[in-house]
Structure 1
Amino acid sequence: MAEPQPPRLARIAAYVLFFLLGVVVSACGSFVQALWPPVGVLLALAATAATFYAGLRVTGTRLGAAAPAAGWFLAMVLLMVPRPEGDNVLWSNATSLAWLFVGSILGVICATLPTRSSWFPGVPNPPR
């Protein structure tokens, strides 16, 4: 019932690219959420969800959604560490915490979605 998967080498390349895209989305989103406080976090979360879901659909595997999530988490950990000068990228305010927790939830949701596509989740595709 799963979607046909791309060739193995193409999937491995896609996993690496989506991992790097997760790092980029996390770094850019960390600055966008702080730049435009009410709207920036929503924009950053939309980009995060789109990246995770695209990884799932492009590769046809759950690992495709987990690869950008792993890159996203790695960048978040690196951005949370304060610099020796005392500068922080992520502060402990409402938008930074929303960015961290809701982004984490989006990663888990996308990594546990079914890999088959249908018009409505849980309804199988018609036979071909």
Structure 2
Amino acid sequence: MSANQGGGSLLAQPLQRPSGLRVLAYLALFVLGAVVGAAGALVQAAWFPGGLLLALVGAAGTFVGGARATDGRGGAVAPAAGWMVAVILLTASRPEGDFLFGAGVGSYLFLLGGMAVAVICATLGLGRQPSSPDVRLGK
């Protein structure tokens, strides 16, 4: 009897609601991403070009670390979303004329580079192979 007869396929299982602990982990990763984005916005302008590299490496570490911690790509998406929300809120100018980002090359590299790092880490974060060494592959 094959997997598609009678019992259904293992890949066609209905989605289940995430556990409360997983939702809490994603919320914590979202907040961590926002903190890393705000810190990166301050650091990238302070020590150019080393600060820019430090901010982007910190963001990439947060995204990949979230994917590893939750064992899925959603763990990279949550801090990436927090990072983008924080950075977009910091780019908006206030009525008083104050803003955090200047119109320099470093600011644009931080914004575009951070978005590129977020997309790369979210799409290439983890594969579909099981991470346990006890699993037999290819059967």
- TM-score range with shorter-chain normalisation? 0.7 to 0.9
* Pair 77,66 (structure 1): closer, same or farther in 2 beyond 3 Å: same
Residue by residue over 1:19-70, the C-alpha shift from the partner in whole angstroms, topping out at 9 and shown as x without a partner, is: 0001000001101011111111011011100000011100011111000011
1:68-123 deviations in Å (ceiling 9; x for gaps): 011111111100101222111112211111100111011001111252498xxxxx
The alignment's TM-score, normalised by the length of structure 1, stands at: 0.82
Q: Find the counterpart in structure 1 of residue 63 from structure 2.
A: 52
Match of 1:27 in 2: 38
Identity %: 47
Q: Which runs of 4+ in 1 moved over 4 A?
A: 125-128
Q: Give the structure with higher Rg (CA).
A: 2
1:10, CA displacement in angstroms?
2.4
Name the residue aligned to 2:86: 75
Task: Identify the residue that residue 98 of structure 1 maps to in structure 2.
Answer: 109
Q: Which residue of 2 aligns with 1:121?
A: none
- Give the unaligned 5+ runs of structure 2: 1-17
Over aligned residues, Cα RMSD in angstroms? 2.0
Q: Match of 1:23, as an amino acid?
A: A
Q: Which runs of 5+ in 1 are unaligned?
A: 1-6, 119-124
Secondary structure of the corresponding residue to residue 89 of structure 1: coil
Summarize the Cα distance change of 1:114–1:9 in structure 2 as closer, same or farther, 3 Å threshold.
Answer: same
Distance in 2 (CA, whole Å) between partners of 1:30 and 1:98 is: 11
Distance change >3 Å, CA 91–CA 19, structure 1 → 2: same
Aligned residue identity for 1:65: A
| Residues paired across the two proteins, number | 116
TM-score by length of 2: 0.76
Instruction: Work out which of the residue numbers 39, 50, 65 in structure 1 matches 2:76.
Output: 65
Q: Distance in 2 between matches of 1:114 and 1:80?
A: 27
2:63 partner amino acid: F
Is 2:20 aligned against 1:9?
Answer: yes
Asked whether 1:18 is paired with 2:18, we answer no
